[in-house]
Chains A and B, each alone.
Chain A
Amino acid sequence: MNDSVTASLALPGLLDGPGPRLADHLAAYGPLPPADAVEVAARAGLTGRGGAGFPTAVKLRSVAAAAGATHRTPVVIANAAEGEPAAAKDAVLLATAPHLVLDGLQLVAGSLGADTVVLAAPGRVLPALGAHLAARPDGPSVRLHRAADRFLAGEESALVSAVEGGEPLPRSKFPAIRERGVDGRPTLVANVETLARLALLARGDAGAAGRALVTRRVEIGRTPVTDVADVHLGARLGDVLRIDDDVPAVLVGGYHGTWLPAQVARDVRLGREDLADVGASLGAGVLAALPAGRCGLRETARVIGYLAAESAGQCGPCLNGLPRIAAALALLARPGRVDGGLIDDVSRWCGLVAGRGACRHPDGSVRLVASALHVFAGELARHRAGRCSATDARAFLPVPAVRA
């Protein structure tokens, strides 16, 4: 145990390593020691960093069990298909410490006996990744997959479908991907940060499971600033994110996340249970402090408009529900008289779509709507009286143009 403590003191974290080159990586972290990924993940209680926070050891065990039961070789997919426009942690991690991710991938693939190993990432980061792979002895065994530029591209089943050569659309979770994924084989889809943390844990950095990468977005001097930080899960949100006194609310978790009033956000800790107590979760790791002078309803309406257009269009509740919610929210986000029943309609529609899609896109989208209607209730009333507290019409949260 003493060894691991000393080792953890000597090892740099995910983002303060020496840089992306293999020689520097080996000098700083040392070679990957032989280890069993399941044991490493179980001992540290590591949870997935793709958004759902599922225990990694449980996932690994069920893939291994499915492989044993079906006598089929499993597939491992490292997921860096970060479709969330506000998130940048996976891209930054791959640019800073690609070899930690690839070590984690190697560890997991070895422990599961996988013969197909895929790293899925947006097209813009692939050339650099190709060069890093070429430097490694296990490089040729990893297949790079170009992930689609869509919000849902990183959704587990959509990614599996794309890796199979199909459209990047989510599909039914029965049977689960970990039992029957790529070509019907047991498939592990793991976020790249989860894999990098496994690589640190295997080297004895016992604290790696207690930290998380977050993408922070704040406005400093009328300029939006985005950065990625490796933060402790026990930290106060107010210590991690710059929340100025005049900030009205903080978005926690990204576009499938939750708005929290600033006074609640400042003191909440980032642990899973602490965030759950205030109805939030770290999700994709996005923390954004809404600057003063911006209208939270207008920001939410723009995000929901984007999310509605990014629906895969497969499940009725999502296809019929999200565009209606988005269109209604766009009306409510502007000052002026609206049909009095519209807010009730939005609340009712939100209840009608949750839990009724092949994926969790509708659930996450209405979670954001519900928290906005709650946190910005005062603003909602102001809008209906024909006023808006916004003094700055510029958009704060990044939203790509809606596909025509």
Chain B
Amino acid sequence: MLCYRDGDAAAFDALYGRHRGGVYRYFLRQCRDAAIAEELFQDVWMNLVRARASYAIQAKFSTYLYRLAHNRLVDYYRQRRLPMVSYGEEDCDVLDTIPDERELPADLELDLKQQAARLMSLIAELPEAQREAFLMQQEGGLTIEEIASATGVTRETAKSRLRYALAKLRQGMVPWR
């Protein structure tokens, strides 16, 4: 990013190629709408391009990029007046939000693709904040500290969100384990 800031256009191509898929899926799985995901995705990259001159190293580039993505997503929720479920609050009881195991077909012989589909549905049912923490970890490769920095919360909050998300997903995937 420093190279791009200093005028190297090819450096942007490298950065974009490395992060385009992760950021796009982050939006897609949060919004569950490809058109909206593309719009948000484009906004984020354009914001990055416009802000290149003022870029200064404060964290890893991926942290910086996902902070832009998080901010854009919050703006999107605010514009659409969508309820930001469990943003800034934690689940007290993980079991309340975990899908009921009894709904799963017990006799179904599931391959990996089916497991993936099941996991996607479980991710979609996660609260936004927990889903965001999980997606940042999986798509962006961010650590707990980086997730905390990108989402503007404390490390403990980010850790808690991630742990809740993983607990729910594991619990939902128990029949396939």
- A and B: real partners? no
Interface residues of A (CB under 8 A from B): none
Interface residues of B (CB under 8 A from A): none
